[in-house]
Amino acid sequence: MSTTLTDGARPALTMLSEEEEMFREAVRDFALSEVAPRVSEMDESQQMDSGLVEQLFELGLMGIEIPERWGGTESTFFTSVLVVEELSRIDPSVGVLVDVQNTLVINALLRWAPEAQQERFLKRLASGTVGAYALSEAGSGSDAFALACRAEQDGDDWILEGQKLWITNGNEADLFIVFATVDPEAGYKGITAFLVDRDTPGFTVGKKEDKLGIRASSTTELIFEGCRIPADRVLGEVGKGYKVAIETLNEGRIGIGAQMVGLAQGALDHSLKYVQEREQFGRPIGKFQGVQFQLAEMATKIEAARLLVYNAARLKDAGEDFLMAAAQAKLYSSQIAQEVASTAIDLFGGYGFTREYPVEKLYRDAKIGTIYEGTTNMQLQTIAKLLLR
């Protein structure tokens, strides 16, 4: 599978400072030199390269907003978005690994953990511990708080019982933010977030899903059977887990938007290179106006999605209301990723339908964007409610 990209498809530098652009270039160089050669093998084996994960930590890409005093980069949420976009341009599986770490796990701790808890766990997340975010269950997808996973108090401890499904980073993670109900009768007000280590007795990482796309990204079940959690592992307050989940997912949707923009840009990059090499009727197919129009549409829609994502990230960093912006960014970018990846296959023709060329993989990877961290219908519902409020 070829992963060489053309230099002719550079995203616009709109809204980037000189420092941000330099950082983007550094991540892009890393993605091309270290991620690209591994993409095909990781997709085939359905496994993230452990050496690559180590490199992500060494570069500081797994602790972007963590303060320097705890080993992090102490940068912005917008920087996290740039990293996810650039990595996803080469491999969306690597992009989502970094995204979950930064926009969900680390953001939840920065927002909700007291100082001592932050120091204890953020040091680990900056230095080599992968995190995972465990909310979904068999009966709670879009209805996120219909949780069956229970937490019962036993002295100063909590005992977790139940199961989680579709947990990203499940195989790589050593720290999990797990949501369970301490009082089913209280509804969403009974939801509580817990910090659970992988080696905690009674906790098992279950089967790994065999997925359509982002196959190198592990998606697993989690099983809790008498899993004892000390009281100091509660994240936030007992009964406030719904706030931890909602506010963190609002930020996470911007990260998924960045993943989808990067994926779409990668598909366009490959297409631009291919149409200048592939000849039909005695000339490169890129010389035909019909093909040129398709490329122009792809580039314009990608840039529109990118600006939506960047706007949402900037609003978040500025402390402004970004709920609608995040929903719009996630909605549009996930739709455009599928559209652009599909058009890329059309441009490649029969070759695009084979695994010999990389657009087939990007097409498979794109589908998840309309599903996880809030389906398309949930984004539409959020936007409509805010419009009518």
| Residue 142 domain-assigned (yes or no) | yes
Predicted confidence (pLDDT) at residue 11 exceeds the cutoff of 60:
no
Write out pLDDT tens, residues 251-299: 999 999 999 999 999 999 999 999 999 999 999 999 999 999 999 999 9
Structural domain total, the chain: 3
Indicate if the alpha-carbon torsion angle 108, 113, 119, 120 is positive or negative.
Answer: negative
Site of tokens 């990595």: 87
| pLDDT tens figures, 300-316 | 999 999 999 999 999 99
Going by DSSP bridges, is the β-strand pair 191-197/234-235 parallel, antiparallel, or unpaired?
Answer: antiparallel
Report the candidate in 78, 30, 88, 84 with the shortest Cα–Cα distance to residue 54: 30
Same domain, 140 and 231: yes
281 in a domain, yes or no? yes
| Mean pLDDT calculated for residue range 329-346 | 98
- Supply the CATH number for residue 203's domain: 2.40.110.10
CB–CB of 367/213 below 8 Å? yes
Q: Among residues 225, 241, 257, which one ends one of the domains?
A: 241
Indicate whether 2 pLDDT > 80. Answer: no
Indicate if 218 and 355 belong to the same structural domain.
no
Mean pLDDT along residues 10-21: 71
Strands 131-134 and 175-181, how do they pair? parallel
Phi-psi region of 242 (alpha: psi -120 to 50; beta: other; left: phi over 0): alpha
User: Does residue 275 fall inside a structural domain?
Assistant: yes
Domain limit, last residue, from 68, 98, 130: 130
Residue 8 clears pLDDT 70, i.e. is over it: no
- pLDDT tens by residue, 128-137: 999 999 999 9
> Last residue of a domain, which of 112, 130, 148?
130
**Same domain assignment for residues 89 and 208:** no
- Please say whether the beta carbons of 25 and 16 come within 8 A: no
Rounded-to-5 percentages of helix, strand, coil across the chain: 60, 15, 25
pTM above 0.85, yes or no: yes
Q: Give per-residue pLDDT as tens, 42-57.
A: 999 999 999 999 999 9
Are 124 and 12 part of one and the same domain?
Answer: yes
Residue 38, pLDDT above cutoff 60 = yes
User: Quick one: 55 and 67 in the same domain?
Assistant: yes
Rounded Cα distance between 147 and 137, Å, is 7
pLDDT tens across 142-191, in order?
A: 787 789 999 999 999 999 999 999 999 999 999 999 999 999 999 999 99
* Position 82 in a domain: yes
List the domain range (segments joined by +) for residue 351.
243-388
Q: What percent of the chain has pLDDT over 70?
A: 96
- pLDDT tens profile 231-241: 999 999 999 99
Radius of gyration of the chain (CA): 21
CATH number at residue 57: 1.10.540.10
Query: In the predicted model, is pLDDT for residue 83 greater than 60?
Result: yes
Residues 278 and 337 placed together within one structural domain of the fold: yes
Q: The domain spanning residue 359 has which CATH number? A: 1.20.140.10
Reply yes or no on whether the pLDDT at 96 is more than 70.
yes
Judgement on whether residues 247 and 378 belong to the same structural domain of the protein: yes
Query: 168 and 67, same structural domain?
Result: no
Q: How confident is the model at residue 4 (pLDDT cuts 50, 70, 90)?
A: very low
Q: What pLDDT, on the 0 to 100 scale, is given for residue 314? A: 96
Contact 342, 263 (CB under 8 A): no
Does a structural domain hold residue 64? yes
pLDDT tops 60 at residue 14: no
What percent of the chain is predicted at pLDDT more than 90?
93
Catalytic member of 86, 172, 221, 373 = 373
Torsion of CA 70, 72, 75, 78, to 10 degrees: -120
Domain check: are 379 and 247 in the same one?
A: yes
Mean pLDDT of the chain: 95
Residue 283 included in any domain: yes
Residues 193 and 308 both lie in one domain: no
Residues 248 and 365 reside in one and the same domain: yes
Does 1 reside within a domain? Answer: no
Are 38 and 126 within one domain? yes
SS3 236: coil
Is 373 a catalytic site residue? yes
Q: Is residue 108 part of a domain?
A: yes
Question: Which residues are paired to 177 by β-bridges?
Answer: 133, 195
Q: What pLDDT, in 10s, does the model give residues 216-234? A: 999 999 999 999 999 999 9
